[in-house]
Chain A
Amino acid sequence: QVQLVQSGAEMKKPGASVKVSCKASGYTFANYYLHWVRQAPGQGLEWMGIINPNEGTTKYAQKVQGRVTMTRDTSTSTIYMVLSSLRSEDTAMYYCARGAGLPQTNYFDYWGQGTLVTVSS
């Protein structure tokens, strides 16, 4: 069965960086784009970006462009998201999600369990 398993909760100080991982299993890793979506406490869903696991190409949301880097390791079917220059506003649950229906459409058919990142001095 398809699974996306994320790394554990992180607590960081403002200005630091955080790296979150998402290990995929149960399907051919190269065949589906993967996304990062975050949700601040009590707030809605915010899309952060997409990675093509086959080529490693990425697209980022304008709000985090310049602070986010998404990479993948095909040998372990894992993607990574590094967010730098952390601010208190980056405190959120971070989800990886698989994109289905591409290229004409894209919806998220599987989600990771989420990784809570807390930014506090």
Chain B
Amino acid sequence: SYVLTQPPSVSVAPGQTARITCGGNNIGGKGVHWYQQKPGQAPVVVVYDDTERPSGIPERFSGSNSGNTATLTISWVEAGDEADYYCQVWDIISHHVQFGGGTKLTVL
């Protein structure tokens, strides 16, 4: 099956920029989606189709995808951004979904 690799943790100071990566073989050829999950809550999509932002998600959240790495960028990080973040792709042929292992974002 298709493997997505995320760093287990990323730490950043408030006001700085956090970058969370998601590695996969030729992931640039797939649509990548990103979810934020806070403790005790269901995940929420923050970026879909590599770069699109759902309504209600701040512009501080952005995504990119090229080659073997997709990246979720959170600008001007706030304490409220502290959460687990997951990348996800869809295999159009097998109709299977794959999640990355998740990255815990800590705001120092």
Contact = CB atoms under 8 A, between A and B. Distances in A.
Interface of A: 35, 37, 44-47, 50, 59, 61-62, 95, 100-101, 103-109, 111-114
A44 B4 CA distance: 12
Interface residues of B, number: 26
B48 A101 contact: yes
Contacts of A107: 31, 33, 45, 48-49, 88, 90
A74 B99 CA distance: 29
Given A50-B97, A106-B97, A114-B42, A44 B102 contact: yes
Nearest to B31: A105
A44 B54 CA distance: 23
24 contacts: A35-B97, A37-B97, A44-B84, A44-B100, A44-B102, A45-B35, A45-B37, A45-B43, A45-B102, A47-B98, A50-B97, A59-B94, A95-B42, A101-B48, A101-B49, A106-B90, A107-B48, A107-B49, A107-B90, A108-B45, A111-B42, A112-B42, A113-B42, A114-B42
